[in-house]
């Protein structure tokens, strides 16, 4: 059987979120997994390990998460699609190389199965506190893409999408999930290989001697790539660099370099942003949610609708870039925006910012122990609607 | 061009490895034109992390030969060095062991005692014996030379590139203008036990080739174990 046929297990399966994530990676063409074991990301590694020989993949347990992501970046430059999986404390270690990945414009996927923090936190409890870290974790200015699935099916779909986006925009993409979704067992449909849309990195096609590693297309601001060891004699560095990849320490180059890294995501943010709306057209109150918590929101909205409250739901699938325009637009229509989060208010402030005072924003702490219940969301909806 | 780059070029040429297959991975900045001078790609990664970056590259494309230049391995990259040695990862480390971090200036490095007082009060830390660390971790080739010993150094680099496994060349490389100091203070002792090559104040800098041995490298062990468990289903990583 061909490698692609073995990689894509077309059909319906009963999978956990973790297994679906590993299958998503394999279906997207991931052939390198570098990791350091941390609970609760084991299951993704386990599934990859069961399947890697089907697709001539390589996996390595590195000495820590710093090196796991470093190895992934190195592997990606050989032309292989590469990923790493981790959880909060490991994600903190990876911060350094998220920055290097952005600076070297290296496609790769980082899966963060959030557990309750802070620090070592509560490893088995589903966490939600890494949202802002995914955005701002590494030093310096950069834009990041982070996706937030809420079911095993989305763990599959969004892992594929994460690879696609990382290749298209030449940047690390973070799949930010939690123990709840990764442990969830549901039906997952894996499409035919030909129906899986994967964007592959743009390769340089000109003369070898003319190759400049950071000469970008004005169209998408993304420079074409070459694989290492093909005789292009190129230089890349984490230092501020010009289009030759040579370090240049001046303000002009700093702006040329970093401004583009930011702009290549910002300009195309609306193409990347993805969300799901339900009954927002006539809604007075809209619950804005993401990840595991969003599963409870749908129940709450349905329940209060039956009681005559015009409620709606906006589920954010792409946390970063943030769906700013959508929130602003909804804030013009609705009176209240409720943001239930399994953290002490990270996306809530973003929603409030984007609402620009046009709707009142309410934060709700929907603790990990409450995931699976929607009574607190119902209660707050009723309270703000004074019913 | 930096003297170490010139010596490295000679080493590469005499190793008869295809330059295109060699990739330089560094954690310190070199003049970017070394890529044209040497005819190879260069990745300047983050501080201390060149070894794991090269590890990923090697596994994803085993045809590559990774020449990893590290500047301060004993601090930031220490753990990566230890584990690459333990795995016998097929990478070639060239440790640029400055008496101090000349590019930054001021701080003292743990590799060697400072000849010049580098902090306001000098350094009192015990220096790290890099060849001994390399041997203890499982390196298959370990040598140390100063910049004075340019021929031996390029020969050691060539030998190192010809090995398959974790090889380390410790380069005592301060400013080239102190070659006379090396002449006065170094002593060649090939085959010396690495326990005895620690650099101590007022002692001789022991240089030479200390280790040359064979051990199964990571890719061999990986192939062997996976074949044992998975049988024909496993497709070996071809070097």
**Residue B102, pLDDT score:** 39
Let me know if residue B239 belongs to a domain. Answer: no
Q: Is the pLDDT of residue B114 over 80?
A: no
**In this structure, what token pair is assigned to residue B223?**
């192939």
**In this structure, what token pair is assigned to residue A29?**
């063409």
B52·A58 Cβ contact <8 A = no
Let me know if residue A67 belongs to a domain. Answer: yes
Q: Is the pLDDT of residue A196 over 50?
A: yes
- We report the CATH number of the domain holding residue A317 as 3.40.50.920
**In this structure, what token pair is assigned to residue B221?**
């062990």
Let me know if residue A29 belongs to a domain. Answer: yes
Residue ranges with strand state E in chain B: 22-26, 41-44, 65-70, 91-97, 141-146, 167-172, 186-188, 205-212
Chain-centre distance for alpha carbon A274: 11
Average pLDDT, chain B: 88
Closest-CA residue of chain B to A33: B56
- Contact yes or no for B174/B102 (Cβ under 8 A): yes
Per-residue pLDDT tens digits for B49-108:
999 999 999 999 999 999 999 976 677 899 999 999 999 999 999 998 875 443 344 455
Among A80-94, A196-210, A337-351, B169-183, the range scoring the smallest mean pLDDT is B169-183
Same domain, A173 and A280: no
Residue A355, SS3 per DSSP: helix
Chain-centre distance for alpha carbon B142: 9
Let me know if residue B238 belongs to a domain. Answer: no
For chain A, the distance separating the N- and C-terminal CA atoms, rounded to the nearest angstrom, is: 61
**Residue B174, pLDDT score:** 65
Let me know if residue A65 belongs to a domain. Answer: yes
**Residue B119, pLDDT score:** 56
**Residue A277, pLDDT score:** 97
Closest-CA residue of chain B to A99: B46
B97 close to A (CB below 8 A): no
B230 close to A (CB below 8 A): yes
Nearest to B194 by CA among B124, B144, B232, B152: B144
Q: How many independent structural domains does chain B possess?
A: 1
Q: Is the pLDDT of residue A263 over 60?
A: yes
Same domain, A170 and A305: no
Q: Phi and psi dihedrals of B200, rounded to 5?
A: -125, 150
Residue of higher predicted confidence among B124 and B190: B190
A235 close to B (CB below 8 A): yes
Residue of higher predicted confidence among B19 and A161: A161
B35 close to A (CB below 8 A): yes
Average pLDDT, chain A: 96
- We report the CATH number of the domain holding residue A73 as 3.40.50.970
Cα–Cα dist B194/B167, whole Å: 14
Residue A128, SS3 per DSSP: coil
**In this structure, what token pair is assigned to residue A12?**
């319906």
**Residue B73, pLDDT score:** 60
Closest-CA residue of chain B to A104: B45
- As beta bridge partners, residue A285 has A311, A336
Please identify, among A195, A226, A243, the residue that sits at the C-terminal boundary of a domain.
A195
Let me know if residue A281 belongs to a domain. Answer: yes
Same domain, A16 and A153: yes
Contacts of B25 in chain A (CB under 8 A): 74
Confidence band for A3, pLDDT divided at 50, 70 and 90? low
Closest CB to A229 among B21, B35, B44:
B21
How crowded is the C-beta side of A112, counted as CA atoms within 13 Å?
Answer: 35
Residue to substitute from A228, A234, A237, interface B, most B β-carbons within 10 A: A228
B167: CB partners within 8 A, 6+ apart: B91, B92, B93, B139, B140, B141, B142, B159, B160, B161
Chain-centre distance for alpha carbon A139: 19
Residue of higher predicted confidence among A316 and B176: A316
Contacts of A79 in chain B (CB under 8 A): 60-61
Closest CB to B46 among A62, A75, A100:
A100
Cα–Cα dist A313/A318, whole Å: 15
Contacts of A58 in chain B (CB under 8 A): 59-60, 237
B54 close to A (CB below 8 A): yes
Can you tell me the mean pLDDT for A103-113?
A: 98
**Residue B120, pLDDT score:** 58
Helix (H) or strand (E) holding A300: helix A293-306
Q: How many independent structural domains does chain A possess?
A: 2
Cα–Cα dist B7/A339, whole Å: 62
Rounded to whole angstroms, the maximal C-alpha distance in chain A is 72
Contacts of B42 in chain A (CB under 8 A): 234-236
Closest-CA residue of chain B to A231: B20
Give A 17-46 residues with CB within 8 A of chain B.
Answer: 31-32, 34
Residue ranges with strand state E in chain A: 11-16, 30-35, 58-61, 81-86, 108-116, 122-126, 145-147, 172-178, 185-190, 235-237, 275-278, 285-290, 311-316, 318-320, 336-341, 360-365
Contacts of A103 in chain B (CB under 8 A): none
Please identify, among A157, A175, A195, the residue that sits at the C-terminal boundary of a domain.
A195
Per-residue pLDDT tens digits for A50-62:
999 999 999 999 9
Q: Residue B192's CB: how many other CB atoms inside 10 A? A: 17
Can you tell me the mean pLDDT for A82-108?
A: 98
- ipTM summary value: 0.96
**Residue B128, pLDDT score:** 80
Nearest to A177 by CA among A65, A266, A295, A63: A295
The per-residue b/e assignment along A177-198, b for 16 or more CB within 10 angstroms, e otherwise, is bbbbbbbbebebebeebeebee
Same domain, A59 and A164: yes
**Residue B238, pLDDT score:** 86
Please identify, among A144, A164, A195, the residue that sits at the C-terminal boundary of a domain.
A195
Residue of higher predicted confidence among B163 and B111: B163
A246 close to B (CB below 8 A): yes
Residue to substitute from B43, B67, B70, interface A, most A β-carbons within 10 A: B43
Cα–Cα dist B230/A313, whole Å: 48
Let me know if residue B158 belongs to a domain. Answer: yes
What residues make up the domain containing B139?
3-233
A97 sits in the region (left: phi over 0; alpha: psi -120 to 50; else beta) called alpha
Give B 124-163 residues with CB within 8 A of chain A.
Answer: none
Residue to substitute from B23, B26, B31, B56, interface A, most A β-carbons within 10 A: B56
Let me know if residue A53 belongs to a domain. Answer: yes
Let me know if residue A116 belongs to a domain. Answer: yes
Residue ranges with strand state E in B119-194: 141-146, 167-172, 186-188
Same domain, A172 and A282: no
Closest-CA residue of chain B to A228: B41
Let me know if residue B69 belongs to a domain. Answer: yes
What residues make up the domain containing A140?
3-195
- We report the CATH number of the domain holding residue B126 as 3.40.50.970
């Amino acid at each position: 059987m061909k490698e692609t046929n073995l990689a894509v297990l077309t059909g319906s399966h009963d999978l956990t979120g973790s297994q679906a994530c590993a299958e998503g990676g394999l279906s997207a063409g991931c052939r390198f997994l570098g990791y350091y074991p941390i609970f609760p990301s084991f299951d993704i590694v386990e599934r990859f390990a069961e399947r890697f020989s089907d697709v001539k993949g390589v996996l390595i347990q590195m000495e820590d998460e710093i090196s796991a992501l470093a190895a992934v970046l190195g592997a990606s430059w050989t032309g292989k699609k590469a990923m790493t999986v981790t959880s909060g404390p490991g994600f903190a270690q990876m911060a350094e190389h998220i920055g290097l990945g952005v600076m070297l414009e290296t496609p790769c996927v980082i899966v963060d199965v959030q557990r309750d923090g802070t620090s070592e936190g509560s490893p088995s409890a589903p966490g939600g506190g890494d949202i802002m870290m995914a955005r701002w974790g590494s030093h310096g200015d950069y834009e990041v893409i982070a996706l937030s699935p809420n079911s095993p099916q989305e763990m599959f779909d969004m892992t594929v999408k994460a690879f696609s986006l990382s290749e298209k925009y030449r940047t690390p993409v973070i799949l930010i999930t939690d123990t709840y979704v990764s442990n969830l067992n549901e039906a997952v449909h894996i499409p035919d290989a030909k129906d899986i849309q994967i964007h592959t990195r743009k390769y340089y096609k000109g003369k070898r001697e003319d190759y400049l590693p950071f000469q970008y297309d004005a169209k998408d601001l993304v420079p074409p790539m070459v694989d290492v060891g093909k005789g292009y004699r190129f230089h890349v560095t984490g230092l501020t660099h010009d289009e030759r990849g040579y370090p240049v320490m001046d303000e002009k180059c700093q702006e040329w370099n970093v401004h583009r890294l930011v702009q290549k995501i910002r300009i195309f943010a609306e193409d990347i942003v993805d969300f799901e709306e339900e009954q927002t057209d006539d809604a007075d109150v809209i619950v804005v949610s993401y990840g595991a918590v969003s599963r409870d929101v749908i129940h709450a909205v349905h329940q209060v609708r039956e009681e005559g409250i015009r409620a709606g739901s906006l589920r954010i699938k792409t946390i970063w870039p943030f769906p700013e325009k959508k929130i602003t637009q909804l804030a013009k229509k609705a009176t209240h925006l409720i943001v239930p989060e399994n953290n002490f208010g990270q996306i809530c402030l973003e929603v409030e910012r984007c609402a620009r005072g046009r709707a009142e924003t309410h934060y709700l702490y929907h603790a990990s122990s409450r995931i699976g219940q929607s009574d607190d969301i119902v209660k707050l909806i009723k309270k703000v609607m004074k019913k | 061009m930096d003297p170490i780059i010139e010596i490295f070029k000679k080493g590469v040429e005499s190793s008869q490895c295809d330059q295109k297959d060699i990739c330089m991975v560094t954690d310190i900045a070199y003049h970017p034109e070394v890529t044209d001078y040497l005819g190879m790609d260069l990745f300047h990664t983050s501080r201390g992390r060149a070894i794991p970056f090269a590890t990923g590259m090697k596994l994803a494309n085993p045809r590559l030969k990774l020449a990893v230049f590290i500047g301060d391995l004993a601090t930031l990259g220490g753990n990566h060095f230890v584990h690459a040695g333990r795995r016998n990862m097929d990478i070639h480390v060239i440790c640029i062991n400055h008496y101090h971090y000349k590019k930054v200036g001021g701080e003292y490095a743990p590799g060697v005692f400072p000849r010049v007082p580098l902090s306001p009060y000098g350094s009192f830390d015990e220096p790290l014996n890099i060849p001994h660390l390399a041997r203890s971790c499982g390196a298959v080739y370990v040598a140390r030379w100063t910049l004075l010993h340019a021929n031996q150094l390029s020969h050691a680099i060539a030998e190192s590139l010809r090995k398959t496994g974790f090889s380390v060349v410790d380069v005592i490389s301060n400013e080239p203008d102190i070659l006379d100091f090396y002449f006065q203070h170094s002593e060649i002792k090939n085959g010396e036990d690495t326990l005895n090559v620690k650099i101590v104040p007022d002692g001789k800098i022991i240089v030479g080739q200390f280790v040359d041995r064979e051990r199964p490298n990571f890719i061999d062990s990986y192939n062997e174990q996976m074949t044992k468990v998975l049988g024909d289903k496993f497709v070996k990583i071809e070097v």
